[in-house]
Amino acid sequence: ANLYLYSRVLPQWQATRCASAFCFRRSLSSTAGLNSDDVDVAIVGGGPVGLAIACSLASGGDGNVATSSSSRKLRVRLLEAGKLPSSQPAAAAAAPDGSFSNRAVALSPSTVAHLRRLGAWNDADPRIAPVRGMRVVESDSDAALTFDAAQIGGDVSGEGALAYVTELAPVVSRLVGQAAKAGAQLRDGCRLESIDGDNSFDRQPFLHLRLTNKSSLRTRLLIGCDGFSSPVRKLAGIEAVDVPYPRHKAMVATLEIDGPDGLNGEAFQRFLPDGPIALLPLPGRFASLVWCSKSDRISHLIKTSDREFLADLNRCLATGPAPAAPLVTAVQADSRASFPLGFMHANRYASGRIVLAGDAAHRLSPLAGQGMNLGMEDAACLSRLLLEAASNGADPADPAYLLDYETQRQRQVVPVAIVNETLGWLYSLPPDSWLTAPLRWARTTGFRLTNTFSPAKEFLRRSATTGRIDLL
C-alpha cells in the first residue's frame, strides 16, 4: 500500500499561500459577469461527509445561520445521484419490541462534537447508545484488552463515553435539514457525467461540469465525497492504491442479547482466525453486529436459517479460553446484509480545482470502526480551511489551502491505516505459516502488557475517541 505519504512534510506551504493569493486576485477580475447559477463549491455525494461540508460552508461556520459571518458563507450546491432522505428524522422512541436499522455506526466523541456544532446531533434521542466500556479478546489465548470510560477519563468532552452507536439514517436526515436551512442547494437524482477542459487552478477560474439531463454547472471548487469508487477521483486523474479483498467479506445484522440490558453499554470484539467479530451496543437489549470472514462463509451466513446462524454466531463468540461474550438470542428479520472489503488510499487528496474527502480519499476495513470518523474529520478540516480562505478573500481552490488540508489529513489517516492493515495481517496468517507461532506469542504478550500499562491504554483510548494517532 502506498503509505509513504505519512512521512512527507511540506515546510513551505505558507509561502505558497502568499503566492497563490495573487493568482486569485487576478482571476476575480476576469470572472466579472458570471451568471447567478455559478457556485463557489460543488459537492458530489450526499452522504454524511458531503452534507457536513455543505452545512459548514453554506452557513459560514458551525451550521448556525444566525451566528455565522456572512462574509464567510459560500455558494454551495450538493449533487447526489440517488435520493436524499427527508429532513425530518423519526423522533419516536424505540418500543421494547421495536427494531433498529442494520446500518448503525460507532461515532467517536470528536465526530459527535462536530455534529453538535452543525446542529445535526440530538443528545435526547433514545435510539443512541453510549459505549462506556469495551472488551477485546483473542480466540487462541486468555489475553484481553478492557476499556472503561469511567476509569480512564471518558471522552474528550468529559461525558464518560468511548463512542456513540446510532443508526445512520437519522444523522443523515438531520444533516440534510441543517444544510438546507443554511442555504446549500441540494439536488438529488443528479449525476456528474464529465468535466470540460483543464481542472488546473491557474488556467481557468471555474470548472465546467456536465451533469445528467444535459444540464451543466460552473464551480470554483469541486469536492468529491462519492465513495471509494469515486467518479470524481477518476475524472481528476488522481491515482490510488486500490486493493480489493475478494476472499473476504463483512456482514452486518441487528441482534437481541440475553437479558433486559443487552450489552449494557459495553462493546465486544473477538479476533478469530478468519477475521474479527464485533458487537456494538444499541439501546435496550439490542446490538449491532459486524462480522468479517471468508466470502463463502459470509454468503452462507446471510442465507442460512436464523437458528443455524445464531448457533454459529454464539459458538464463534465463545471460542477460546478468554471470558465468553454475552449470549445472542435473536436476529432481527431481514437485517442480515453483506458488503465487500478492501483497502484504498488516494496518492493525493487535491488536484487543481478538485479535492477529495471521506471514502473517495481513503477506504479502510471495518476492523477498528474508524471509516466514518476519519471522513468526518476530513469534513471538519476541509471546511475550516475553506472558510479561512473565504475570510481572507482567497479562491476556495487556492492550492495552498488544499495542500494544507491534504497534509493535515494524510498525517492522521496514514497512521490509522498502517495500524489497521497491520492488525488485519497479524490475525490473517495461515496456521501452517512459520510466522504464526511467534506472532501469536507477540500478540498475546502485547495484549497483556497493554492491558496492565495505563499510559498505553490511554493512548489507545484517545486514538479511538479522537480518530487520530499522534506520533509526531
pLDDT band at 277 (very low <50, low <70, confident <90, very high): very high
Please classify residue 456 by burial: count the beta carbons closer than 10 Å to its beta carbon, then call 0-12 exposed, 13-18 middle and 19+ buried. middle
Q: Which residues pair with 270 in a beta bridge?
A: 137, 277
CA neighbor of 52 nearest in space, from 177, 218, 222: 177
CB–CB of 351/361 below 8 Å? no
Best-predicted range by mean pLDDT among 146-160, 259-273, 445-459?
A: 259-273
Residue 193 has pLDDT above 50, yes or no: yes
Q: Quick one: DSSP state of residue 72?
A: G
Specify the pLDDT at position 359. 96
CB–CB of 347/410 below 8 Å? no
**How many angstroms separate the Cα of 358 from the Cα of each of 192, 236, 376, 420, 444?**
18, 16, 7, 17, 33
Best-predicted range by mean pLDDT among 4-13, 85-94, 118-127?
A: 118-127
DSSP string, 97-115: T----S-EEEE-HHHHHHH
- CB atoms near residue 252 (< 10 Å): 19
In the chain, the domains with their CATH numbers are 36-100+169-242+342-419 (3.50.50.60)
CB–CB of 65/219 below 8 Å? no
Express as a percent the part of the chain with pLDDT over 70.
75
pTM of the model: 0.86
Residue 14 has pLDDT above 50, yes or no: no
What are the backbone angles phi and psi of residue 122, rounded to the nearest 5°? -115, 105
DSSP string, 341-359: EEEEEES-SEETTEEE-GG
Task: Summarize the confidence of residues 160-172 as an average pLDDT.
Answer: 92
Residue 67 has pLDDT above 50, yes or no: no
Query: Amino acid letter at 467?
Result: G
